[in-house]
Amino acid sequence: MEALLAAGLPAQICAVISNDPAAKGLDTAAGHGVATAVVNHRDYAQRADFDAALAKAIDAQNPDLVVLAGFMRVLTEGFVRRYRGRMINIHPSLLPSFPGLHTHRQALAAGVRVHGCTVHFVTPQLDHGPIIIQAAVPVLPDDDETTLARRVLAEEHRIYPQALRWLCEDRVTLTADGRANISGAHPATNSLLSPALDA
């Protein structure tokens, strides 16, 4: 979230809403002059009641986009459908590989040579929405969860603002077959090999 606030996006960030009153991001947002609100999930016995209160707080801001950043609650299908095509998230893996939690641990356990992150539209199926942009990093022989997460996070801070710029410029459309299409974007032509081929 802090990276998005600092990115100079061509958009007004109307509010930062958290489910945790102690979230550091609330102070960060306030320091940037952004309105904040808290909808504490602990105040609601039912997930649907929390989602209804969260939706009310969001709708009070009348946003064009709902951008999840470090929001670790699973949202109900009704909530997700309410913001269909307007809610995006970033996930620390190359989806559809390693959805859910502990993605870096999963990647290391699987022995993959390449890992990364994905910006995608949120759909009722967890971590499976249409992909807007991805970034890949090599998995190094001496990596642990901390070092791999640090390298992936640097890419998250690079691609999330880019995805938001495309959305603000109306360059992202959802196709009939459920893919995200970015007009004017150039496909990457280079490749990442890990480990690299012998010279």
**Domains observed in the chain:** 1-83 (3.40.50.170), 88-184 (3.40.50.170)
Cβ proximity of 93 and 118 under 8 Å: yes
Specify the pLDDT at position 53: 98
Check: pTM over 0.85? Answer yes or no. Answer: yes
In degrees to the nearest 10, what's the CA dihedral of 64, 99, 7, 187?
-90
Buried b (16+ CB within 10 A) or exposed e, 112-134: beebbbbbbbbbeeebbbbbbbb
Local mean pLDDT, 10-residue blocks, the chain (199 residues): 91 96 95 96 96 98 96 93 97 97 98 98 95 97 98 97 97 94 90 84
- Which one-letter amino acid corresponds to residue 20? D
**pLDDT at site 146:** 98
Residue among 32, 41, 91, 120 flagged as catalytic: 91
What pLDDT does residue 58 have?
Answer: 98
> What integer pLDDT is reported at residue 127 of this predicted model?
95
pLDDT at 81: 96
What pLDDT score does 187 carry? 84
Q: What is the pLDDT of residue 123?
A: 96
What gap in Å lies between CA 52 and CA 4, rounded to an integer? 26
**Does the annotation mark 91 as catalytic?**
yes
Residue 197: DSSP 8-state: P
